[in-house]
């Protein structure tokens, strides 16, 4: 007996999935093959013994006979051993299958537990969502009810407002009809007044046109009177007897000479030279107390190097640096009562003694370059020139009227008339531009004295100017 089939040890309800069914089929097949092998082994010796008996009866068989029973026992022993080995293998397979069964059962149990947990979680989520949905629905119902109540309130208010608006519109229409009636009457009155106004305006326009024509004619006459309609006569020699003819090629030089004055004068000298290098250029000094030696020297140099002759004209007062400009010019003129003043250069030195000595030496050098040429033109030495300053004035400010200065060669010509032929438009200013400039920049100190603050000098520059009352500071 090979024993009952192995399948009866397994319950059909414990099989899970197709892999376990295939395993059971495999075990049944192995059992069947084992039984078939044992039966074949038992039959095979009998058949082999019969064949050996037949061979022994033949004349060619061997004389010795083989014991068939012994061979059968040996075969049975071999087969029994193989069966036991096969049976042990089946038991091992069965044990493995049992372990597999237990593992699969554990996995199934774990999967079921996970499934149950997920299902419980989903049920809880569903319950929560249902609760939230119910709460949202209740809230929505409440909001809807509130909105309906508000809409009803608005409808009520709108209805009341419409009634009031309708009443107001009725009153407005009645007021509009009344106003239209009044406007119609007013329009008739306005039309009448417009007709009268148009007639008055036309009469006034005619009178204004007549007056404007008269005024335009008068303004035109005034404009014509304000202009001198003639060509300027440019003379190669502007001096005719005792009369000097100054054209519009003139440059004013008034007030203190400080930073920017040389640019003002020299730019115009260059401009007039670009127009003509033959016609005279005039530098007209009404009142100039002098100023910066650097600025003044640039003007002196521009006068000396100008292709066109430059004529310096003094009408009232030229002192210090302005006097040097006048004296060193090749062509100079002045009214008899114009005053020209020469003196020594002054300085407010600061610093230690060495620095003061250096500054003093620099001042002497400027004096050599500016005052010495004046002394040379006068025909005296620089030392004698200084002595004459103090002989004629105790403070060294040597001033002379032009009719005396001409003998000292400070000015070349004294004229009785200076005719400004370049002024072809009627002057409109009340005072000179330079005077207004000075007044605009004039200040008053703590003692009540007026003064003008001069710009800061450039390095190595000096103020060479006449300032007896400390007006320029």
pLDDT at residue 360 in the model: 64
pLDDT at residue 49 in the model: 44
pLDDT at residue 227 in the model: 57
pLDDT at residue 176 in the model: 86
pLDDT at residue 382 in the model: 93
pLDDT at residue 335 in the model: 97
pLDDT at residue 266 in the model: 96
Per-residue pLDDT of the chain (473 residues; tens, 9 = 90+): 444 444 444 444 444 444 555 545 555 544 544 544 444 444 444 444 444 544 444 444 444 566 888 888 888 899 989 999 998 999 999 999 999 999 999 999 999 999 999 999 999 999 999 999 899 889 989 998 988 898 888 888 888 888 888 888 888 888 888 888 888 888 888 888 888 888 888 887 887 887 777 667 666 655 555 555 568 889 999 999 999 999 999 999 999 898 899 999 999 999 999 999 999 999 999 999 998 888 999 999 999 999 999 999 999 999 999 999 999 999 999 999 999 999 987 766 566 677 666 666 766 777 788 889 999 999 999 999 999 999 999 889 999 999 999 999 999 999 999 999 888 776 665 554 444 445 447 788 888 888 887 877 777 776 777 878 788 77
State the SS3 of the chain: CCCCCHHHHCCHHHCCCHHHHHHHHHHHHHHHHHHHHHHHHHHHHHHHHHHHHHHHHCCCCCCCCCCHHHHHHHHHHHHHHHHHHHHHHHHHHHHHHHHHHHHHHHHHHHHHHHHHHHHHHHHHHHHHHHHHHHHHHHHHHHHHHHHHHHHHHHHHHHHHHHHHHHHHHHHHHHHHHHHHHHHHHHHHHHHHHHHHHHHHHHHHHHHHHHHHHHHHHHHHHHHHHHECCCCCCCCCCCEECCEEEECCCEEECCCCECCCHHHHHHHHHHHHHHHCCCCCEEEEEEEECEEEHHHHHHHHHHHHHCCCCEEEEEEEEEECHHHHHHHHCCEEEECCCCEEEECCCCCCCCCCHHHHHHHHHHHHHHHHHHHHHHHHHHCCCHHHHHHHHHHHCCCCCEEEEHHHHCCCCCCCEECCEEEECCCCECCCCCCCHHHHHHHHHEEECCCCCEEECCCCCCCCCCEEECCCCCCEC
pLDDT at residue 434 in the model: 46
pTM: 0.51
pLDDT at residue 370 in the model: 85
């Amino acid at each position: 007996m090979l024993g009952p089939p192995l399948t009866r040890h397994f319950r059909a309800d414990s099989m899970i999935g197709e892999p376990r069914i295939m395993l059971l089929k495999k075990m049944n097949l192995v059992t069947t093959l084992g039984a078939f092998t044992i039966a074949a082994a038992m039959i095979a010796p009998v058949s082999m013994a019969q064949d050996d008996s037949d061979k022994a009866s033949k004349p060619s068989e061997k004389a010795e006979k083989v014991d068939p029973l012994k061979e059968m026992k040996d075969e049975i022993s071999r087969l029994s051993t193989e069966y036991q080995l096969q049976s042990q293998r089946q038991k091992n397979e069965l044990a493995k299958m049992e372990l597999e069964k237990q593992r699969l059962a554990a996995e199934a149990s774990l999967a079921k537990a996970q499934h149950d947990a997920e299902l419980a979680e989903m049920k809880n989520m569903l319950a929560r969502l249902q609760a939230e949905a119910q709460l949202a629905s209740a809230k929505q119902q409440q909001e809807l009810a509130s909105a309906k109540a508000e809409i009803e309130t608005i409808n009520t208010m709108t209805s009341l407002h419409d009634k009031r608006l309708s009443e107001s519109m009725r009153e407005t229409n009645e007021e509009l009809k009344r106003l239209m009636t009044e406007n119609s009457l007013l329009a008739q009155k306005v039309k009448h007044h417009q007709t009268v106004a148009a007639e008055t305006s036309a009469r006034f326009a005619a009178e204004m046109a007549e007056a404007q024509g008269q005024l335009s004619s008068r303004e035109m006459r005034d404009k014509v009177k304000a202009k001198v309609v003639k060509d300027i006569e440019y003379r190669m020699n502007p001096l005719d007897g005792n009369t000097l003819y100054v054209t519009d090629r003139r440059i004013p030089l008034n007030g203190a000479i400080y930073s920017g004055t040389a640019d003002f004068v020299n730019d115009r000298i260059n401009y007039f030279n670009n127009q003509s290098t033959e016609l005279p250029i005039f530098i007209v000094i009404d009142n100039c107390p002098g100023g910066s030696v650097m600025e003044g020297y640039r003007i002196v140099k521009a006068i000396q190097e100008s292709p066109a002759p430059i004529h310096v004209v003094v009408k009232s007062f030229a002192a210090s640096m302005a006097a040097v400009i006048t004296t060193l010019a090749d062509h100079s003129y002045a009214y008899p009562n114009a005053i020209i003043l020469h003196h020594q250069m002054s300085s407010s030195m600061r610093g230690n003694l060495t620095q003061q000595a250096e500054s003093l030496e620099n001042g002497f050098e400027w004096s050599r370059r500016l005052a010495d040429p004046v002394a040379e033109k006068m025909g005296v030495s620089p030392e004698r020139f200084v002595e004459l300053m103090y002989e004629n004035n105790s403070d060294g400010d040597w001033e002379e009227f032009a009719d005396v200065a001409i003998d000292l060669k400070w000015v070349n010509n004294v004229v009785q008339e200076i005719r400004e032929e370049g002024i072809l438009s009627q002057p409109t200013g009340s005072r000179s531009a330079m005077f207004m400039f000075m007044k605009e920049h004039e200040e008053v100190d703590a003692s009540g004295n007026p003064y003008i603050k001069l710009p800061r000098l450039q390095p190595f520059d000096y103020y060479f100017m006449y300032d007896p009352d400390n007006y320029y500071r």
